[in-house]
Amino acid sequence: MTEQERIIQLRKELHQHNYNYYILNAPTITDQEFDFLMHELQDLENKHPEMADSNSPTMRVGSDLNEDFKQVYHKYPMLSLANTYSEADVRDFYERVQKGLEGEAFEICCEMKYDGTSISLTYENGKLTQAVTRGDGEKGDDVTNNVKTIHSIPLVLHGTGYPQNFEMRGEILMPWEVFEALNKEREAREEPLFANPRNAASGTLKSQNSSVVASRKLDAYLYYMLGENLPADTHYENLQWAEKWGFKVSHATRLCKTLDEIYDFIKYWDVERKKLPVATDGIVLKVNSLRQQRNLGYTAKSPRWAIAYKFQAERALTRLKSVSFQVGRTGAITPVANLDPVQLSGTIVRRASLHNADIIEGLDLHIDDMVYVEKGGEIIPKITGVDTQSRHADSQKVTFITHCPECGTPLVRYETEAAHYCPNDSSCPPQIKGKIEHFISRRAMNIDSLGPETVDLFYQKGLIQNVADLYTLKATDIYRLERMGEKSAVNIINGIRNSKNVPFERVLFALGIRFVGETVAKKLARAFKSIDALSQASLDDLIHVDEIGEKIASSIILYFSNASNRELIERLKDAGLQLSLSEEAMQGQSDKLQGMSIVISGVFTHHSRDEYKAMIEKNGGKNVGSISSKTSFILAGDNMGPSKLEKANKLGIKIVNEEDFLKLLE
């Protein structure tokens, strides 16, 4: 046997041994024997560089070479799931699915919600070609070399029958045992401890040294398959196929046909999950049929066919040391409780949100109170109660401040709002810096060469006072500053210059107009096409846009009535930002459905419901959820609900099928 043939043989053997150990949990050789084979392969590969293979088992060791992560767009957006914390919400989800499928039978696949960092893996011809983090849902970081060091992720698939090209999604995790050992090592070196396994896994995966990733012994569970030619039309069956091909799939998965079966699954794992080797924080419920998933579709943020049930928060008792007040980019004042450190849900908690003055008053908080802290779905835990029995007689009552802690401006509280605000948005430092930080963020202008610390430095040095000032910066202004070099300065200037290509809807979101989030910004951009048209829109013009109510419309009008905001827009125009829809975005738009309100019902063949909704919006129509006398027509697929059909006939509403609708848009 030649050395080249031995390399091929060793790779095949080591892939099999890796599968036996990490997936089947049934090793057939000792660790020492495995290491011996690995060293032999490494030596032979060093002798024969012409035999290099990016999916060799030796890639598990990692490299000491640093690397920058490039960003990659997801073929299928990685949306987050809607969260729920009660069985009543689970019932509501179940009934929404029933209604959305219009009486068609369905199954729910219940599985563990692992608390790690999401990953998307692409396989071509049975080999791992790319691994991308969730990022902002539309694009993430290419961490392929780091992921190849994780033994439970197959580099080469086993068996046969897998699609030529497909994607597997899952969660990268740090087991509790590894997490605790890592923190002991960091403590001994007097390094900051990781807060929880999720943060440790996420930080490790983004390490620029893949040998560090290899040493951290990360694990992974894969839970969703996407592609054009999947082996089955059900989620559960695809997971069974995935396991045969070498993917680590959770066995804590069950198909449920009734609500009672779902509740039984939740109750069982609420207790048993504490015995698992990795962190979990809930249950994921998914409609099993992929066809039914497509018909149910998506909201702007999450799929309608899945939901995450979060386990009830753990509670801890600790002492309230003080309350501090923070100013956000909108001027909202957030009170934060500073606590004696306490362990809660795998995390050391030192702060808790108090939200607003009403919450403080309702809790009747005093300094040095013993307080109950919970951590549910929020990043910052919250205080849910006070042990008044242990209160000192001379303790000081917590009162809400009357003036901005940053600029001294008297605070205001708007009618119907719970929060207090600092109205000094033009010269209150946290508001100015907060708006700039929002502007440069990944979901907005994505100027990733800048961060909060750099924004603070530039602001303190008088280089920027608003977002338009970014576009007048020069490299010579930057590289003389503390902690800044010529390379950093050039990267920042290039990042700012590249942001001029960001499309109009994201620029609109980046401006930080109150109540204008990503989804609203997209709708406004499609409706008005340019910043000039939007700035001149009346209240009536605005509220006729889908999902724009009087609250959002009033906020937009207030923004453009401010002379400093109008001046800012003119400066951004002069800088060359995209403040109107591009020709590419305008293509395919028409007014064929202008002024029409359309209801979608039934199961479709040619496109999903979400695709039809997008077509309606692109052609000037409005999607509505229920039938009324104002409905223009119903776009109906198969199995239209009998109640909707009856109401349509009663009101004389026209029913249009798929083929006629598509002809209408031709």
Report how far residue 100's alpha carbon sits from residue 343's, in angstroms, rounded to the nearest whole number.
42
Burial class (CB in 10 A: 0-12, 13-18, 19+), 35: exposed
Element (H, E) at 306: strand 306-310
One-letter identity of residue 152: S
Concatenated DSSP letters for 601-650? ESB-SSS-HHHHHHHHHHTT-EE-SS--TT--EEEE-BT--HHHHHHHHH
Residue 554 contacts by C-beta under 8 Å, 6 or more apart in sequence? 539
The pLDDT value given to residue 31: 64
The domains of the chain, with CATH numbers, are 3-61 (1.10.287.610), 83-310 (3.30.470.30), 314-422 (2.40.50.140), 429-501 (1.10.150.20), 504-586 (1.10.150.20), 597-665 (3.40.50.10190)
Residue 82 contacts by C-beta under 8 Å, 6 or more apart in sequence? 93, 299, 301, 302, 307, 308
Contact 113, 279 (CB under 8 A): no
The pLDDT value given to residue 91: 95
| HSE-up of residue 193 (Cα within 13 Å, Cβ side) | 15
Q: How many residues does the chain have?
A: 666
The pLDDT value given to residue 484: 84
The answer to which of 118-127, 244-253, 544-553 has the lowest mean pLDDT is 544-553
The pLDDT value given to residue 68: 61
Give the three-class secondary structure for 27: coil
The pLDDT value given to residue 526: 86
The number of angstroms, rounded, from the C-alpha of 14 to the middle of its chain's C-alpha atoms is 36
The answer to which of 122-126, 204-208, 267-271, 562-566 has the lowest mean pLDDT is 204-208
Between residues 12 and 23, which one has the greater pLDDT?
12
Contact 620, 592 (CB under 8 A): yes
Between residues 197 and 497, which one has the greater pLDDT?
497
Mean pLDDT of 519-548: 90
Most confident of 213-222, 239-248, 440-449, 630-639: 239-248
Q: Is the pLDDT reported for residue 377 higher than 60?
A: no
Contact 301, 519 (CB under 8 A): yes
Between residues 210 and 254, which one has the greater pLDDT?
254
Mean pLDDT of 115-124: 94
| Tokens 């961060």, residue located | 451
Report how far residue 141's alpha carbon sits from residue 436's, in angstroms, rounded to the nearest whole number.
23
Report how far residue 440's alpha carbon sits from residue 499's, in angstroms, rounded to the nearest whole number.
9
Mean pLDDT of 165-186: 90
Report how far residue 16's alpha carbon sits from residue 32's, in angstroms, rounded to the nearest whole number.
16
The answer to which of 201-205, 322-326, 384-388 has the lowest mean pLDDT is 201-205
Beta strands per DSSP E along 125-274: 127-133, 139-141, 165-173, 219-227, 253-256
Q: Is the pLDDT reported for residue 285 higher than 50?
A: yes
Contact 99, 41 (CB under 8 A): no
Burial class (CB in 10 A: 0-12, 13-18, 19+), 246: buried
| Tokens 């099999």, residue located | 16
Read off the pLDDT band of 65 (50, 70, 90). very low
Report how far residue 556's alpha carbon sits from residue 560's, in angstroms, rounded to the nearest whole number.
6
Concatenated DSSP letters for 477-508? HHTTSTT--HHHHHHHHHHHHHGGGS-HHHHH
Q: Which residues pair with 410 in a beta bridge?
A: 403
Mean pLDDT of 266-286: 90
Report how far residue 504's alpha carbon sits from residue 583's, in angstroms, rounded to the nearest whole number.
11
| HSE-up of residue 470 (Cα within 13 Å, Cβ side) | 31
Q: Is the pLDDT reported for residue 66 higher than 60?
A: no
Residue 320 contacts by C-beta under 8 Å, 6 or more apart in sequence? 337, 338, 339, 365, 366, 367, 368, 369, 370, 371, 383
HEC readout, 342-369: EEECCEEEEEEECCCHHHHHHHCCECCC
CA distance to 296, 504, 521, 531, 538, per residue, from 528 (Å):
29, 11, 11, 8, 12
The pLDDT value given to residue 58: 81
Please indicate, yes or no, whether the overall pTM of this predicted structure exceeds 0.75.
no
- Averaged pLDDT score across all residues of the chain: 88
Mean pLDDT of 146-163: 93
Q: Is the pLDDT reported for residue 585 higher than 90?
A: no
Q: Is the pLDDT reported for residue 63 higher than 60?
A: no
The catalytic position among 70, 75, 99, 113 is 113
Read off the pLDDT band of 171 (50, 70, 90). very high
Dihedral pair phi/psi, residue 396, rounded to 5°: -90, 130
Residue 175 contacts by C-beta under 8 Å, 6 or more apart in sequence? 197, 217, 219, 277, 278
Contact 352, 337 (CB under 8 A): yes
The pLDDT value given to residue 588: 67
Residue 222 contacts by C-beta under 8 Å, 6 or more apart in sequence? 121, 153, 168, 169, 170, 242, 247, 248, 249
Mean pLDDT of 259-281: 91
Mean pLDDT of 21-45: 75
Query: CB atoms < 10 A from the CB of 37, how many?
Result: 15
Angle among Cα 476, 479, 484 to the nearest 5 degrees reads: 160
Mean pLDDT of 474-499: 90
The pLDDT value given to residue 37: 84
Tell me, yes or no, if 217 is annotated catalytic.
no
- Name the strands in the sheet holding 280-287, side by side, starting at the edge strand that comes first in the sequence: 83-84, 306-310, 280-287, 108-114, 253-256
- Take residue 646 and report the two structure tokens written for it: 């009856």
Dihedral pair phi/psi, residue 251, rounded to 5°: -85, -5
The pLDDT value given to residue 376: 54
Contact 579, 507 (CB under 8 A): yes
Element (H, E) at 50: none
Element (H, E) at 586: helix 583-586
Contact 294, 611 (CB under 8 A): no
The pLDDT value given to residue 191: 63
Cα distance between the two ends of the chain: 64
- Which tens digits make up the pLDDT trace of 428-467? 999 999 999 999 998 899 998 898 889 999 999 999 999 9
Q: Which residues pair with 335 in a beta bridge?
A: 325
Q: Is the pLDDT reported for residue 223 higher than 90?
A: yes
Report how far residue 149's alpha carbon sits from residue 58's, in angstroms, rounded to the nearest whole number.
9
- Which tens digits make up the pLDDT trace of 296-345? 988 767 899 999 998 876 788 999 999 999 998 889 999 999 999 998 76
One-letter identity of residue 46: N
Report how far residue 472's alpha carbon sits from residue 495's, in angstroms, rounded to the nearest whole number.
13
Mean pLDDT of 175-186: 85
Report how far residue 163's alpha carbon sits from residue 315's, in angstroms, rounded to the nearest whole number.
47
Q: Is the pLDDT reported for residue 346 higher than 80?
A: no
pLDDT > 90: percent of the chain: 52
One-letter identity of residue 113: K
Read off the pLDDT band of 192 (50, 70, 90). low
Report how far residue 543's alpha carbon sits from residue 7's, in angstroms, rounded to the nearest whole number.
67
